[in-house]
Structure 1
Amino acid sequence: MSVLALKKVHHIAIIARHYQVSKAFYCDILGFTLVGEVYREGRDSWKGDLALNGDYTLELFSFPEPPARVDRPEACGLRHLAFSVDDVDAATHCLAKHGVQCEAVRRDPLTGRLFTFFKDPDGLPLELYQA
């Protein structure tokens, strides 16, 4: 049996309760670029395509009254989304200027790298990991 020949992660899809708020968070605070956007009238839903450093990365969706996310990151499914940064301390200071609270910076015991967690407007856990 051969292994499936995956190349890379193509994109990550996120459902937002308030599309405009989440779009501003990902674009204006985290630095994604909106490369495409469409309103799907039949679903009363927005879909935005976001790129990070020129690479298509996120699909941002909205749906009327989506159910709340399970609050514990140890629940089955996606635990968190991690972003690589050059300097975790500088990144946390930047987020703080935008009113985004981060957990205390910790050191990964296996790699020795610094990391921290914060949340998007809908509570999705996000991580900054110093490369």
Structure 2
Amino acid sequence: MLHSLHHVALICSDYARSKHFYTRVLGLAVIAETYREARDSWKLDLALGDIQLELFSFPGAPPRPSYPEAQGLRHLAFAVDDLEAAVAHLQNHGVACEPIREDELTGKRFTFFADPDELPLELYER
């Protein structure tokens, strides 16, 4: 029935700040950007391999509880070839990363960081 993951949608509190983070810091390419006047909302479609990341702004959207962890989507994980280089890139942009750890089940290394709205994001070495 299911073929693949098509997109992930995120709602941000500050559209310009999040657009900068996802395009300039993380380097995702813009597919389309749309202002929806009836909703006073921006929608930014970003390319991430075969998957799209949709970034939305909605006035007055409540903050997402991240700590302590809440039920629902836990985090987004991005695959990288060179974990140290990816961490250094983020740190050069002022993004704090947790210490690199090893997944006890797969032996792969990973770390966590957060987007401007404190959404937990993970870098997972391929």
TM-score by length of 2: 0.96
Q: CA deviation at 1:70?
A: 0.7
Partner SS for 1:96: helix
Conserved 8 A contact 1:34-1:49: yes
Conserved 8 A contact 1:73-1:80: no
Please name the residue that 1:92 is paired with.
87
The reply to whether residue 12 of structure 1 matches residue 12 of structure 2 is: no
| Unpaired stretches in structure 1, ≥5 consecutive residues | none
| Unpaired stretches in structure 2, ≥5 consecutive residues | none
| Aligned with 2:24 (options 18, 23, 28) | 28
Question: Structure 1 runs of 4+ off > 4 angstroms?
Answer: none
**Percent identity between the two aligned chains:** 59
Q: CA deviation at 1:56?
A: 4.3
Conserved 8 A contact 1:31-1:52: no
The reply to whether residue 129 of structure 1 matches residue 124 of structure 2 is: yes
Q: Distance in 2 between matches of 1:128 and 1:113?
A: 11
Paired residues, number = 126
Please name the residue that 1:101 is paired with.
96
Conserved 8 A contact 1:27-1:33: yes
1:57-112 CA distance string (max 9 Å, x none) = 11100011210111236311000000000111111001000000000000001111
Over the aligned positions, Cα root-mean-square deviation in angstroms equals 1.1
Q: CA deviation at 1:125?
A: 0.2
Please name the residue that 2:45 is paired with.
49
Conserved 8 A contact 2:66-2:120: no
Q: Distance in 2 between matches of 1:106 and 1:81?
A: 17
TM-score by length of 1: 0.92
Higher Rg of the two aligned structures? 1
